[in-house]
A = this chain, B = another copy of it.
């Protein structure tokens, strides 16, 4: 699907063509530090203090982590119980019981790779980067098992410029609209094969090797498309020491905007990943 020739033609095209959207392009091409500069500049342009009471706007890319959320294995829903309550004990604490890959959560190399880094060993600086949101919602509407492939990257770069080093690249498929209906979100057929979009593995490899991105995100249950049995995107991403966020919410709200994403993944000991708060600063 993505030959080395295709990979490089994207770069060549970007170098060759003087395309529109320069403000956004320059934002992205500067990487994280430059992006923040542009972000501050845009705050000044829009009045700064006047906008959102002088505060950065924070957009929440996270779903609530609850007991009825869609999960990859339908029986593996998180459980919670009262440990103490204000009424009985004067203060309130819950106890949680759950497996790590539920809700808006991160996959870290150790999830698939025997000697891969666990969460507590994973560098914090990789969890922050400018957001690149690639929209494949039209394709996903036609074909649930669609993948974000080189044509989508190429189309995005034609419009916005080269994906910057350190970016976190998100697939927006429109799937988060199904979140409150776990059966529709999981979208399993009569044989319990799931169907939803994901990343094409060679494209993920291109983004890591040729664009030096920090990580990935999807608005579905898996970095791979639902029917995958080989988990090629997982191996491509985690095998190269990168991370992926699954069940990301509200990507439409940052699409086309200058956003810095912070993946707030608690430092789970020996974690293969785990629940996280994903926030975008715009």
Chain A interface (Cβ within 8 Å of chain B)?
Answer: 30-34, 36-37, 39-41, 43-44, 48-49, 51-52, 54-60, 62-67, 80, 83, 86-87, 90-101, 103-104, 110-114, 120, 124-125, 127-129, 165-166, 231, 262-279, 281
Contact = CB atoms under 8 A, between A and B. Distances in A.
A37 B57 CA distance: 14
Q: How many copies does the complex hold?
A: 2
A65 B264 CA distance: 13
Given A43-B36, A65-B269, A120-B66, A96 B97 contact: yes
Contact of A55 (B44, B110, B113, B125): B125
Contact of A99 (B95, B114, B269): B95
A279 B127 contact: yes
B54 A165 contact: yes
B34 A48 contact: yes
B113 A86 contact: yes
Given A93-B272, A266-B104, A281-B128, A48 B33 contact: yes
Contacts of A128: 55-56, 58, 279, 281
Given A34-B54, A55-B125, A65-B268, A93 B100 contact: yes
A264 B277 contact: yes
6 contacts: A36-B56, A65-B267, A93-B272, A94-B272, A97-B97, A277-B277
A230 to B, nearest CB: 11
A267 B43 CA distance: 28
A33 B37 contact: no
Given A40-B40, A58-B125, A124-B277, 4 more contacts: A34-B54, A54-B165, A56-B128, A267-B277
Contacts of A56: 32-33, 36, 125, 128
Interface centre among A41, A59, A99 (most CB of B within 10 A): A99
A94 B267 contact: no
A278 B264 CA distance: 7
Given A40-B39, A58-B124, A264-B264, A97 B94 contact: no
B124 A111 contact: no
A96 B281 CA distance: 30
Contact of A64 (B96, B97, B269): B269
Nearest to A98: B96
Interface centre among A266, A273, A276 (most CB of B within 10 A): A266
A31 to B, nearest CB: 4
B125 A266 contact: no
A160 B91 CA distance: 36
